[in-house]
Structures are given as structure tokens and as C-alpha cells.
Amino acid sequence: MAENVPETDVIVVGAGPVGLFALFELGMLKLSAAIVDALAMPGGQCAALYPEKPIYDIPGYPVIQAGTLVEQLVRQAEPFRPQYHLGRQVTGLQRQADGRWLLETSQGERLLATAVVIAAGAGAFGPNRPPLPQIERYEGREDGTGVHYLVRRREDFRGKRLVIAGGGDSALDWAHSLADLAQRIYVVHRRAQFRAAPESVARLHAMAADPAGPVELVIPYQLAGLEGEDRRLQAVIVQTLEGQARRLPADALLAFFGLSMNLGPIADWGLALEKQHIVVDPATCETSVPGIFAIGDIATYPRKLKLILSGFAEAAQAAHAIHPLCRPGEVLHWEYSTTKGVPAAAAAE
């Protein structure tokens, strides 16, 4: 082994909410950790795609913005001083002769650890773009106009005429959230049935039924084209399967058709996979390769629930399963955090 390679007990791949909470759980067991993420900031999709999106299923928070949740998770892990390696991709992972793992990044860094936790969410992700001619010319604007695949700041869309396309939770969530800011919102979907939570669907229909409200359901229509001048969007053309067309005056199109998922180099690590997800033992979150664990959306097992709540629980399970690997022969005395508190040694200085 080459000298001067930083060593830690655990390397966490992916700095989304679940990966960040893993830092806390590992710290509570007095295990040191480093975390690696391709994004330049912690938070994963919550930070990159929808920092102002409200989340309603975090215990103790009736509602919390995604960005605020990330800030709190980073703060929660701070006493344990995790090493952050952001803005670099994982390019390689090799088991060493002593059983530890050597991880390499796109910045030429090498990190050594006893165990690896993959918390990469959807892996390398990007939005699914609708196949519209010249859509690129309307992308990338920062004034709340043009074509967008995420909402970073609600305020950008104040007073705008919006077309929201999609039938899932993201489309409906943003229709609800932007209704008090936008001048007009057209929700376009190819069929009357939505793939969102029933309460969210009922709320959308109630908003659309209000003749004085800003929301109109444009169903069953699909995106067919864009109109504009000088890269400024003026209208979105939609069309039924029978060819009936409508022109919707619009300043912005928000297209929510999900994310494309790519495991990247993780797919070459010899892990058992199922439909682009990593198969794990639900009792420990260990993968088919000993010493490598997976938690959060990227992990799968029978009856898996893709919730942040599930990912948080998996982070705790993985940390406890990793402890005997890093501290063989050391008895782990179970204590609740209310009696144990944050270890004084970690919080010192």
C-alpha cells in the first residue's frame, strides 16, 4: 500500500439526505467517516433539484423545505467531523490485501476504509427531456422563463404564465406550491389519471374547479411544440392523440418526467443488481460483496419503501452492521441517544 493515503473507518458514497444521516449514525458509534459526492454541495437531489420543495413526512416537522433539511443534517453530523470530498466522482474501488477498500476519485484522490456505504440515491441522474424540436434554445434561463426541469427558487416564477407537464408527485407538488405566485398554471397530462398521492390529486382537482383560481387542467394532452422569439418562450403547443391542438400562452414550461438513472462505475463493482438498483440484505443493508453496504433509494429488497424515512433507518442498520468490521472483538453497548448524547470527545474543541 502506498504511503500517505488518508484512512477512515467508512467511506460514504453519496451526500444526499440518507448519506448525510449515515455520517451521524456512524459518528454515534465512534466510527470515522468520509463522504464523496459528484455535486459541489451536500444534499444530492434535494439541494440540486428542489431545495425549496416542501417535504411532509419527516418526523417532528409538519413541513420542511428540502434545502433546510439538508442544512440540519449537515449540522447534526458536524460534531463527528466527517471528511467531505465534494465535486468529484468515484472512479474506482478495489479491495486491498488486508481486506480494506481503496477508493479513487476523478480528482486523483485515494481514500482507504474498512467499509463502504453506497447512498447514491438515483445514481448519476439527469432529467428526462421531452422530445421537442429546438427545446435546447429555451433551456438555462435564470429569470423564471423558458424550459425548466426543476425549481430552485419559487420566487423566480412570480407573475409568470406556467405550463407544468407531468402526472407524478413532482408536477402536482409544484402546481400546488406555485399557485399563489403564478399568474396562470396549465397542468398538462396525457390522461385523466395521475400517478401522485390521492390527496394531492384531490387538491389539484379542487384548485382547478375554482373559476377564479389560476390552475387549469389540460387533459388529455401531450407536449407537441414550443413557440418563441430570441430564446424567449411565448407559448407551448399541446396536442391530443387524435391530433387536436391547443396553444397555451406561457412564459415557462416546467417539465417533470422523472430522472434518468445511471449507476456509473458502481455497476462494475460486482454487486448483485436488480433493475438498476443494488440488492441488499434488509437486516444489515450489506450487498452481495462483503464490506460494501447500500442504503436509500439505490438499495432494494422485498417490499422496499422508497422513503427518506426508510433510508434513515437503513443508515442506522448499516452503521451497526459495520461496527464489528471496524472494531472486531469490541462489545457495542446499546444506548438510546437520549441517554448517550453526543460523545464529548467528538464535540470537544
In a domain, residue 1? The reply is: no
Residue 76 and residue 110: Cα distance in Å, rounded?
26
pLDDT at 275: 86
Q: Answer yes or no: are the C-beta atoms of 251 and 161 closer than 8 Å.
A: yes
- Domain of 235, in residue numbers: 129-255
Q: Which of 255, 288, 317 is the last residue of a domain?
A: 255
Q: Which of 232, 255, 278 is the last residue of a domain?
A: 255
Same domain, 244 and 285: no
Residues of the chain predicted below pLDDT 50: 1, 345-349
Q: Answer yes or no: are the C-beta atoms of 129 and 135 closer than 8 Å.
A: yes
Reduced to 3 states, what is the DSSP secondary structure of residue 201? helix
232-254 pLDDT per residue, tens: 999 999 999 999 999 999 999 99
The whole model's pTM is what? 0.69
Q: How many domains does the chain have?
A: 2
Rounded to 5°, the CA angle 189-190-194 comes to: 60
Q: Which of 227, 255, 283 is the last residue of a domain?
A: 255
Same domain, 149 and 224: yes
pLDDT at 150: 80
pLDDT at 145: 94
Sign (positive or negative) of CA dihedral 25, 26, 27, 30:
positive
In a domain, residue 2? The reply is: no
